[in-house]
Chain A
Amino acid sequence: MERPTFKPVGTPVEELDTPALVVDLDALEDNLQTARSFFSEAKIGLRPRLDAHLCREIAHVQMGDWERGFAVSTIAQAEAFAAFTEIEDILILNVAVTRAAIARVAALNQRVPAIIGVNSPKGVARLAEAAEAHRVAIPAAIPISARVNSIGAPPAAAADLAKLIERSRHLHFSGLFAAPTLNLGEDDDVSARLAALLEAQDIFSSRADLPESSIIAAGGSAHYRELARTPWLTEAIIGSYALGDRRLIERWPQIRPAARILATVMSEQEPGLVWLDAGQKATSIDTGLPMVDSVPGASISRMSAEHGGMVLEDGASWDVRLGSKVWLVPHDIANTVNVYDYIHAARNGKLEAVWEVAARGRYD
């Protein structure tokens, strides 16, 4: 577990023990409002992805009039947020396959409506069995994808699956969501995902024998414009808009980098190059390197497990020396909160609260 030297409320954030994950509450609130305004204008509901911050306190401030329940990526994350009695429902953007996993989904539904993805007739049968055994009604949604590197069912298969779900007395058909493709390091092709979802949706709207979808959803904060231009969606599933990250702020300029990592210069051996105490273990770099937010002309050149190398562009100058503090904006916030146990919540540069990242590491 992360073991910082904790500081009292009111401490200036630059005095926090480093590396520290610090969230500016004003920026967080601005981001929530930005997304709310944007999607309410487009008349598309908003379903925040809690796996983008994994923190109950942030989920709490995120729930508003325009938000329609939450989304997570694993059953264990849903379990971590299930104590939220005010949750309307929680959509698990995944499928449950093993008997143990399905039993957990059934048990979860005794506490909170937890919608689970199902992508095969066998999956429907197993889910129905578990629902009957636990005497609960399980809401099920179908992930849709035309690509093979995804958990989605092809659009043409959705109709039969939906009929199977509705035929089971213990399952309830919730709708359809666009399954993301697995494409580490590549740009997510949102138009292909939306095209596959529309193909499935067209089948549903043209056939009277198919159940109605209360959810027709697709996601990705970076695709906010495309999502808003898709009026047949009932909701947009977005996550990183709350805390922001390097990937997103380059695409959605109104989103502020609310979450940043405070690091300290720990070695200074060459002009124009210093090494920070934050490396790959303090800011996950699976999708890319973080951005330096506080030193003009500086960038992260490479990161090893424990060290981050910061360089100065040619011709620039800096006032950085051993012990200096540096702010980094992570490339992928969801993947970065997962390596922290604590979020330092701050306002006007002062520590206001320390929040637990309660759903981190919950992969199953």
Chain B
Amino acid sequence: MIPAIGTPVEDLDTPALIVDLDALEHNFAHIAELYSDSVCNMRQHAKNIKTPVILQKQISAGGTVGGVCAAKVSEAEVMVEGGITDILITSQVVTEDKIARVCAMSRLADVKVAVDDERNLRLLSALSERSRSDVGVVIEVNTSMNRAGIRAPERGIDLARLAAELPGITFRGVMSHQSISGDPDRETRFIEGRRWIQMCLDAKDAIEDAGFPVEIVSTGETFTIDVAPHMPEVTEVQGGTYALMGVNCAYMEDFQYAVKIISTVVSRPDDSAAIGDVGYRALAAPGGALPSVEGEDGISVDSLGPDHIALKSAGPMPLEVGDQFTLLSAQQDILVNRWDRFIAVRDRHVEAVWPILARGCHH
């Protein structure tokens, strides 16, 4: 049920997905300060938030390029309809249906799309030219993921050359995405982050040496938020999780938990166990990643079912049937994709209810 403005958190129907506005604003203010004197700015990934009003709040807060990333074409469309006019689509768009949508969008916004293949460039060019559009292309460089992205800088030169020759498309730059596992310390983050981002910069240098100017170097993510500004050729960071935060990025201590799940205890099977009314269908637990209980020392998550969570306590369980408890996400962007709305909360009262407009936008 959608709560009225002013409703106390205690009175929410549960489970509920809330966003703590003070924490969100803290995280955005931190980015504005971090990037205030930097060539590098934030290009927040819409895939983590999927809600134009929140992304607009960040653009207003400062420290950004004035636009966002989107993982998919339909997600980008929601952002453009939400008034955002600078979009980088970070996946390859290879079907004619979707390329047509990108071309249409390019007349409403500055749209750039990731590429890693000549055939894809030729199709983009043909359809864009046919519709008299101009679509920006950014070459994806593989660094640590072995996913999409060119495997060698020379391939970048070939793609940039072809993009420069073909009509309907404009070569704009390079991008990469990295990941780091576990709970890295600051030194590890800096060493690994620099090494991988440098691979993207190597491709950029090779392309420029071949005579093709590179306007955009879009790289970085939550764990390199403070690494990238020390690499002066990086123009933007594709930050994701830090904005709403998840326990998998707990090592990024400058950020506060903004997204939380409120659940209610529905059963107390014994003295140390409690069952809550939310399970993996709503929480998302890819790879068995369990959420954490906030602010309740000694209570941990024992297991998950589709619609329930089992909590256990070291001593007697302090939570009774009907008590609420708060969970922190283990996988923030998958979590958000399972919900239709954020209940925005300040001082434990509802301040706004925001539809997650790009939820389910995997096209």
The residues of A with any CB-CB pair to B shorter than 8 Å are: 1-5, 17-19, 51, 73-74, 94-95, 97-98, 100-101, 119-120, 122-123, 145, 147-152, 180-185, 264-270, 273, 275, 277-282, 284-287, 303-307, 309, 322-323, 334-335, 338-341, 361, 363-364
Q: In the complex, what's the smallest C-beta–C-beta distance from B317 to chain A, in angstroms?
A: 11
A149 engages B310 (CB within 8 Å) = yes
Across-interface contacts of A100 in B (CB, < 8 A): 1, 11, 13
Q: Which stretch in B124-132, B212-220, B251-259, B264-272 binds the other chain?
A: B264-272
> Which residues of A have CB within 8 Å of B363?
2-5, 17-19
Identify the stretch in B52-60, B183-191, B299-307 within 8 Å (CB) of chain A at 4 or more residues: B299-307
Residue contact A286 to B91, C-beta cutoff 8 Å = no
For B, the interface residue count at a CB cutoff of 8 angstroms equals 74
The residue that A122 contacts in the complex, of B150, B286, B321, with Cβ under 8 A, is B321
| 6 A-B pairs closest in CB distance | A267-B148, A182-B305, A148-B269, A3-B74, A2-B360, A149-B310
In contact, B92 and A184 (Cβ under 8 angstroms): no
> Does B72 interact with chain A (Cβ within 8 Å)?
yes
Identify 20 new A-B residue pairs, CB closer than 8 A, beyond the known A4-B74, A17-B97, A284-B281: A19-B362, A97-B266, A98-B14, A98-B264, A101-B13, A123-B321, A145-B269, A147-B269, A149-B269, A149-B302, A151-B266, A184-B303, A267-B147, A280-B334, A285-B287, A307-B148, A334-B306, A335-B280, A338-B338, A364-B277
Q: Are A97 and B275 interface neighbours, CB within 8 A? A: no
Q: Are B308 and A361 in contact (CB under 8 A)?
A: no
The distance from the CB of B208 to the nearest CB of chain A, in whole angstroms, is 22
Of the candidates A122, A305, A340, the one having the most CB atoms from chain B within 10 angstroms of its own CB is A305
B333 an interface residue at 8 Å Cβ cutoff?
Answer: yes
The reply to whether A339 and B322 contact each other, CB–CB distance below 8 Å, is: no
Bound form: Cα–Cα A183–B288 in Å: 10
Of the 9-residue stretches B34-42, B115-123, B168-176, B224-232, which lies at the interface with chain A? Answer: B115-123
B47 within 8 A of A: yes
Residues of B within 8 A of A338 (CB): 281, 338
B19 at the interface (CB under 8 A from A): no
- Please, which residue of chain A has its CB at the minimum distance from the CB of B268? A120
From A1, A151, A185, A335, give the contact of B267 (CB < 8 A).
A151
Interface residues of chain A: helix, strand, loop or mixed (majority): loop
A-B contact pairs, 8 of them (CB 8 A): A3-B363, A97-B322, A182-B279, A182-B308, A270-B151, A285-B286, A304-B145, A363-B282
Using a CB–CB cutoff of 8 Å, the interface residues on chain B facing chain A are 1, 11, 13-16, 47, 71-72, 74, 77-78, 91-95, 97-98, 101, 116-117, 119-120, 142, 145-151, 264-267, 269-270, 273, 275, 277-282, 284-288, 302-310, 321-322, 333-334, 337-340, 357, 359-363
Which of chain A's residues has its CB closest to B321's CB? A97
CA distance A94 to B91 in the complex (A): 40
Pair B305/A17 contact, Cβ less than 8 Å: no
Cα A281 to Cα B360 in complex, Å, equals 7
Residue of A nearest to B265 (CB): A97
CB nearest neighbor in A for B93: A266
Q: Are B275 and A323 in contact (CB under 8 A)?
A: no
Q: Which residues of A contact B357 (CB under 8 A)?
A: 1
Are the CB atoms of A267 and B303 closer together than 8 Å?
no
Q: Establish whether residues A309 and B147, one from each chain, have CB atoms under 8 Å apart when the complex forms.
A: yes
The chain A residue with its CB closest to the CB of B100 is: A5
In the complex, which of the residues B117, B269, B334 contacts A267, with contact meaning CB atoms closer than 8 Å? B117
Min C-beta distance of B308 to chain A, whole Å: 5
Distance in Å: Cβ of A266 to nearest Cβ of chain B? 4
Contact partner, B119, options A152, A305, A322, A364, Cβ 8 Å: A322
Q: Residue among A94, A148, A279, A285 with the most chain B CB within 10 A? A: A148
Q: Please give me the residue from chain B that is nearest to A321 by CB atom.
A: B119
Most chain A beta-carbon contacts within 10 A, residue among B119, B269, B273, B304 = B269
Interface centre among B78, B287, B288, by most chain A C-beta atoms within 10 angstroms, is B287
> Complex Cα distance A321/B354, Å?
40
Q: Are B338 and A339 in contact (CB under 8 A)?
A: yes
Q: Give every chain A residue within 8 A of B359 (Cβ-Cβ).
A: 1, 361
Query: CB-CB < 8 A to B281: which residues of A?
Result: 284, 286, 334-335, 338, 363
Contact A364 B14 (CB under 8 A): yes
Partner of A184, one of B146, B280, B361: B280
B279 to chain A, nearest CB (A): 7
Q: Complex Cα distance A17/B74, Å?
A: 11
CB distance from B113 to the nearest CB of A (A): 11
In the bound complex, how far is the Cα of B151 from the Cα of A147, in angstroms?
52
The answer to whether B277 and A97 have CB atoms under 8 Å apart is: yes
Hey, which chain B residues are within 8 Å of A303, CB to CB?
Answer: 286
Task: Report the minimum CB–CB distance from B158 to chain A (whole Å).
Answer: 13
**B15 pairs with A363, CB closer than 8 A:** yes
Contact A73 B92 (CB under 8 A): no
Asked whether B270 lies within 8 Å of A5 as measured between CB atoms, the reply is no
Cβ-defined contact, A120 with B273, below 8 A: no
* Closest A residue to B361 using CB positions: A3
Given contacts A119-B267, A149-B269, contact A281 B362 (CB under 8 A): yes
CB-CB under 8 A from A278, the residues of chain B are 362
